[in-house]
Amino acid sequence: MPSPSPRHANSPDLVALGAAIRRLRLERGLSQEELASRSEIDRAYMSSIERGQQNTGIVLVLGIAKALDLTATELMAAARL
């Protein structure tokens, strides 16, 4: 299991982003493993992202958005960020 981001784990913004990713994933009928694979992220890391434990970089956010068939702007709007 990945270590949480030491300074930012559980920040409201990361929790909101993770919750939005999880909600959108479930709406699309994707397993966490499938979304992780499509995003080229380890499944355990995806789990950590969805729980708001990781301060995810822009390249990973772009990959997750693409895997969800969204733009980064749409993903951020879904998270209300």
For 39-60, write each residue's pLDDT tens digit.
999 999 999 999 999 999 999 9
Mean pLDDT of 4-24: 93
Give all domains of the chain, ordered by start, each with its CATH number.
Answer: 12-78 (1.10.260.40)
| Dihedral sign from CA coordinates of 32, 46, 44, 40 | positive
Confidence of residue 6 (pLDDT cuts 50, 70, 90): confident
Contact 51, 18 (CB under 8 A): yes
Confidence of residue 37 (pLDDT cuts 50, 70, 90): very high
Angle of CA points 60, 29, 19, to nearest 5° = 50
Residue 32 has pLDDT above 80, yes or no: yes
- Distance from C-alpha of 54 to C-alpha of 43, rounded to nearest angstrom: 13
pTM: 0.93
Contact 43, 53 (CB under 8 A): no
- Distance from C-alpha of 4 to C-alpha of 22, rounded to nearest angstrom: 18
